[in-house]
Amino acid sequence: MNPADPIITCKDVCVAYGRQEVLHRVNLEIPRGVFLPFTGPNGAGKTTLLRAILGLLPLRRGKIDTPFDRHPAGYMPQQKVIDPLYPVSTRQIVEMGLYPERGWLRRITAPQRRAVDQTLEQLSLAEHADKNFRELSGGMKQKALLARAFVSKAEVFIVDEPTSELDEASEKEVLHHLLQLSREQGKTVLVAHHDLGLMATLTDSMCHVRHGNASIEPVRQESGADA
């Protein structure tokens, strides 16, 4: 595959919930290695588009080409998806990201354990590793889900509102890690985020999702001032 080829391509993508079409003929070519925020008002279809790219939603029409058959995406949903009833530790949540390597039965290897430890350390979660996931604060839960995505060795990371439950310092920390993934490791990072102004300070292009349509546009200085 040519590195200049887009890593994800959406061709005439339509997604509907029942009879209501939420995305109408979306055409996107997402370049490899970008940090690409998906912005737009609530209900515009940001999360729907990212879920369609992940293969979690059936397409009414169109086609999405991704490398996920060979390299599953690193996915960070919103933290409320984990039922607090589950007696699982933060470490167990993070180790879930190793499933493509471990499969049904393989035990965790020493390098994999180190990778989990390093990721927990990197996200300031080391001291909470053995805590029950339900005992973590909202922000820490989000960081644990981010850590799960990080350990998966994915090429593409898809992150849904990563900072919605975080305080300002943690928000900066998480965004810094996501930017690092893209700038230092050449990973593609797609982030649904409501704060257009903040995103405009971090990147030079954004995917604007409005009224079920989406387009990648360069960041204009005034777009930062809008937010």
Partner 1 sequence: MMESILSLFTQFPEAMAAGILVSTVCALFGVFVILKHAVFIGITLSEVAACGVAAAFLLGIPPFAGSTVLVLAAVSVMAYPLEKQRIPRDTLMGVIFIAASALSVLLVSKSGTGLAEVRSLLYGDLILASGSDLVVLFLVLIPALLVFLLFFRPVLYTFLDRDAARVLGIKTFVWEALFFIVLGLIISATSRIAGALLIFCYLVVSPATAMILSKRLKRVLIISPLMAAASTLAGMVASFHYDLPTNQTICMVSCILFICSAAVSALIKRVQR
Q: Is 33 exposed, middle or buried (CB count within 10 Å of its CB: 0-12, 13-18, 19+)?
A: middle
Report, in Å, the least distance between residue 10 CB and partner 1: 17
Answer yes or no: are the C-beta atoms of 76 and 154 closer than 8 Å: no
What is the number of residues in the chain?
Answer: 227
Q: What residues between 88 and 107 interact with partner 1 by CB under 8 A?
A: 88-89, 92, 96-97, 99-100, 102-105
Does residue 47 bind partner 1 (CB under 8 A)? no
Report, in Å, the least distance between residue 45 CB and partner 1: 17
Nearer to partner 1, 25 or 131 (CB): 131
Q: Which of 37, 72, 139, 212 binds partner 1 (CB under 8 A)?
A: 72
How many other CB atoms sit within 10 Å of the CB of residue 66? 20
Q: Is 149 exposed, middle or buried (CB count within 10 Å of its CB: 0-12, 13-18, 19+)?
A: buried
Report, in Å, the least distance between residue 218 CB and partner 1: 30
| Binding residues for partner 1, total number by CB under 8 A | 30
Helices 138-150 and 110-122, packing angle to 10 deg:
140
How many other CB atoms sit within 10 Å of the CB of residue 184? 8
Contacts with partner 1, 126-155, as mask; x by CB under 8 A: ------x---------------x---x---
Residue (of 162, 187, 147) closest to 77 by Cα position: 162
- Interacting residue ranges for partner 1, rule: CB under 8 A: 18, 51, 54-56, 68, 72-73, 75, 77, 81-83, 85-89, 92, 96-97, 99-100, 102-105, 132, 148, 152
